[in-house]
Amino acid sequence: MAIKVIITDGDPMLRQKSKDIVEITDRTVKLLDNMVETMRDAEGVGLAAIQISHPLRLAVIDIGEGLIELINPELVECTGEQTGLEGCLSVPGLYGKVTRSDRIMVKTLNRAGEEVHIDAENFLARAIQHEMDHMEGKLFTDIAEETYDAAMIEEEVEKERAEETANKEKAINEH
Ligand code: ZN
């Protein structure tokens, strides 16, 4: 396995449409392994093959609930709506407020070439839709209602944490 270079916004390849995998070969499996290692090294929750310069319909996702691999995925069903913050390893330093479907059903192949269906909701549904957008040459910044500087978000989270700690201390002192 190897850690690959993640290309970033401004690289024209990110705007290309990825191609279907015609046959799952040893090379496909090796590419998937490299994608997993690259995603973990970058501490991301998802990575599409195009982000490491392979315009193929492959993605790996791990939101902390186990690894999911997508090979030629297709959206079968989408319902509901969710709005939340999203980031991308190819758009460093930026978060965006993005509205997506809340529940989805996806038909995909696994690395054994078997067709599997994945039911996903909330953050996992968001992650899958984000990776499938990469396969169409789209980035979250194309559909974000607002974008925020990552440093600003981190500052806000810090402030909230500090306030929470202060409140907890206050509660302890009051007892
Ligand atoms: Zn991304």
| Segment 53-91, tens digit of pLDDT | 999 999 999 999 999 999 999 999 999 999 999 999 999
| Among 154, 139, 37, 156, CA closest to 98 | 139
pLDDT in tens, 12-68: 999 999 999 999 999 999 999 999 999 999 999 999 999 999 999 999 999 999 999
State the catalytic residues.
131
Ligand 1 centroid to residue 132 C-alpha, Å: 9
pLDDT in tens, 101-148: 999 999 999 999 999 999 999 999 999 999 999 999 999 999 999 999
Ligand 1 centroid to residue 83 C-alpha, Å: 17
The span from the CA of 142 to the CA of 144, in Å, is 6
Helix (H) / strand (E) containing 148:
strand 146-149
Strands (E), 31-129: 46-48, 58-61, 68-79, 82-86, 94-100, 103-109, 115-121
Q: Calculate the CA dihedral of residues 134, 140, 143, 144 and round it to 10 degrees.
A: 170
Ligand 1 centroid to residue 175 C-alpha, Å: 47
The span from the CA of 3 to the CA of 22, in Å, is 25
Helix then strand then coil, % of the chain, to nearest 5: 40, 30, 35
Q: pLDDT-based confidence at 169, cuts 50/70/90?
A: confident
Ligand 1 centroid to residue 118 C-alpha, Å: 20
* pLDDT (0 to 100) of residue 166: 84
Is 172 a residue whose pLDDT tops 90? no
